[in-house]
């Protein structure tokens, strides 16, 4: 008599350490660690706490969890932890409340609004690029972060921000993002309760950010500013005007924090990686420059962005190979079968765009930066294999905003400068809720009629 074979669960990722599992890898070298997971198909277990978390590596399973079977999944424990920072904003809310908020906020991200914001983006990107001097070495990540923050704050609050307020936002948002990531990774929930200097800095940054935003909302008491409505006006006036269908000041507050946090470092990381890739690929940089130059010197408006197909493919390729988003987490609210395995209710799943986007099954030579893989005559990418902005009811509300910002910025910079790598600088990917490069020093070389490249 043979005993019936016990069903084996999904494989466990290599590198699991006693007690801390894979936590150290996710903390110290998350990008390298995530890269190793593409080898597993369709699902692999990693240990970040007492129970395993399952990383979905197949587009099909990701599509099921995010879209077709989404009713069986909720956002999970990590998002509960994020509520301390983001309140009940769009990124952390669920169910009917999330749907209502999404409906109320969607008009603020409609085509006409993005077209209006694109003018602000082009102006701010042009100002920033014009402030550099020939031969200057710039910290590209820092420059893109400052620019993205200026863009989000200018579109949220169209009135020019007092420099002190802008400085508060600039210094607090990265601390809050870093703190959020640490909290999500801490399986014990004890770390953040310790009175360490880092935790004190985070608590202080969070308090200051809340105070500044409260101030910005309450100072709107006198009514919206003249001209096109900014995002804050759209939030404050969203709905049909009945108390059942408008946002309270607290809700507006949570949404503003969410937009600041979700819309700054993501775009900055995407742009910084994009300039890194253009620096390493002079041929691609040249082609992009020539396309932008054909558009003339005037800042680009939203409609003219459609006339930059090569630039768009380059942005897509950066979003693929260097996806700046973090990992997305879901928890099963019922028992589920995925990839031939049974998972009880309460199991947590992770999906990482980087893991999907660097899979050689869907992207041959996945680490090669090649905008032409997005040419319309190339084989279509399977559904769920390219998801820089997520999918389903929680798909990024800022996708068009982010794309317009990346396009206008790369066009504004590339038409004036070639950003060249500085020999000896050590560029490293860092994950703090988002994936962005550090150590990205680049030298500005002016494009002149005689030496445009």
* CA 450/CA 444 separation, integer angstroms: 16
x/- track of binding to ligand HEM for residues 144-163 (CB under 6 A): --------x-----------
x/- track of binding to ligand HEM for residues 44-83 (CB under 6 A): ----------------------------------------
Shortest Å distance, C-beta 337 to ligand HEM: 22
Q: Count the Cβ atoms, other than its own, within 10 Å of residue 441.
A: 18
Contact set for ligand HEM, span 258-277 (CB under 6 A): 258-259, 262-263, 266-267, 270
- The answer to whether 361 contacts ligand HEM (rule: CB under 6 A) is no
Tokens of 245: 């269908």
Shortest Å distance, C-beta 311 to ligand HEM: 15
* Residue (234 or 444) nearer to ligand HEM, CB: 234
Shortest Å distance, C-beta 254 to ligand HEM: 11
- The answer to whether 87 contacts ligand HEM (rule: CB under 6 A) is no
The contacts of residue 24 (CB under 8 Å, 6+ apart) are 17
* DSSP bridge pairs for 341: 338
- The answer to whether 184 contacts ligand HEM (rule: CB under 6 A) is no
- The answer to whether 394 contacts ligand HEM (rule: CB under 6 A) is yes
* CA 380/CA 368 separation, integer angstroms: 18
Q: Which stretch binds ligand HEM (CB under 6 A): 207-215, 217-225, 395-403, 442-450?
A: 395-403
Among 273, 401, 410, 436, which residue interacts with ligand HEM (rule: CB under 6 A)?
Answer: 401
Shortest Å distance, C-beta 90 to ligand HEM: 4
Query: Sign of torsion, CA 312 314 320 323?
Result: negative
Contact set for ligand HEM, span 293-332 (CB under 6 A): 324-325, 328
Nearest CA-CA partner of 283 in 376, 418, 394: 418
Judging by beta carbons within 10 Å of its beta carbon (0-12, 13-18, 19+), is residue 422 exposed, middle or buried?
Answer: middle
* Residue (106 or 131) nearer to ligand HEM, CB: 106
- The answer to whether 397 contacts ligand HEM (rule: CB under 6 A) is yes
Residue 10 gets the label, from left (phi > 0), alpha (psi -120 to 50) or beta, of beta
Nearest CA-CA partner of 30 in 279, 324, 283, 263: 324
- The answer to whether 388 contacts ligand HEM (rule: CB under 6 A) is yes
Asked if residue 317 lies in contact with residue 374, where contact means CB atoms within 8 angstroms, the answer is yes
Nearest CA-CA partner of 368 in 307, 284, 249: 284
Asked if residue 374 lies in contact with residue 354, where contact means CB atoms within 8 angstroms, the answer is no
Size of the site for ligand HEM (CB under 6 A): 23
Interaction site with ligand HEM (CB under 6 A): 90-91, 102, 152, 258-259, 262-263, 266-267, 270, 324-325, 328, 388-390, 394, 396-398, 401-402
């Amino acid at each position: 008599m043979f005993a019936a074979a016990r069903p084996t669960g999904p494989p466990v990722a290599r590198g699991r350490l006693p007690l801390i599992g894979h936590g150290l890898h996710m903390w110290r070298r998350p990008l390298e660690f995530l890269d190793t997971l593409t080898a597993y198909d369709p699902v692999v277990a990693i240990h970040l706490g007492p129970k395993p978390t399952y990383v979905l590596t197949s587009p099909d399973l990701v599509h099921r969890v995010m879209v077709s079977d989404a009713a069986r999944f909720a956002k999970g424990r990590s998002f509960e932890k994020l509520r301390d920072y983001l309140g009940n904003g769009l990124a952390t809310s669920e169910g009917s409340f999330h749907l209502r908020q999404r409906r109320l906020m969607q008009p603020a991200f409609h085509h006409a609004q993005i077209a209006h914001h694109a003018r602000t983006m082009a102006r701010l990107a042009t100002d920033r690029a014009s402030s550099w001097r020939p031969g200057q070495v710039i910290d590209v990540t820092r420059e893109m972060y400052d620019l993205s923050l200026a863009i989000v704050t200018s579109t949220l609050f169209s009135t020019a921000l007092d420099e002190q307020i802008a400085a508060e936002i600039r210094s607090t948002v990265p601390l809050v993002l870093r703190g959020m990531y640490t909290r999500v990774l801490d399986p014990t929930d004890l770390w953040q309760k310790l009175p360490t200097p880092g935790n004190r800095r985070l608590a202080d940054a969070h308090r200051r950010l809340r105070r500044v935003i409260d101030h910005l909302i309450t100072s709107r008491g006198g009514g919206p500013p003249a001209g096109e409505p900014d995002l804050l006006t759209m939030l404050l006036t969203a709905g049909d005007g009945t108390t059942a269908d408008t946002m309270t000041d607290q809700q507006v507050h949570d949404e503003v924090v969410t937009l600041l946090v979700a819309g700054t470092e993501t775009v900055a990381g995407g742009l910084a990686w994009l300039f890194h890739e253009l620096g390493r690929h002079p041929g691609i940089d040249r082609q992009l420059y020539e396309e932008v130059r054909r558009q003339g010197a005037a800042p680009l408006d939203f409609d003219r962005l459609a006339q930059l197909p090569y630039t768009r493919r380059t942005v897509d390729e950066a979003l693929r190979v260097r996806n700046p988003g973090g990992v997305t987490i879901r928890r099963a609210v019922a028992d589920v079968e995925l990839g031939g395995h049974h998972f009880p209710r309460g199991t947590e799943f992770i999906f990482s765009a980087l893991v999907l986007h660097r899979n050689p099954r869907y992207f041959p030579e996945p680490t090669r930066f090649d905008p032409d893989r997005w040419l319309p005559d190339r084989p279509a990418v399977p559904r769920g294999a390219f998801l820089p902005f997520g999918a389903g009811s929680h798909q990024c509300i800022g996708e068009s905003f982010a794309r317009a910002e990346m396009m206008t910025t790369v066009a504004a910079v590339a038409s004036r400068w070639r950003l060249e790598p500085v020999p000896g600088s050590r560029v490293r990917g860092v994950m703090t809720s988002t994936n962005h490069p550090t150590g990205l020093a680049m030298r500005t070389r002016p494009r002149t009629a005689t030496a445009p490249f």
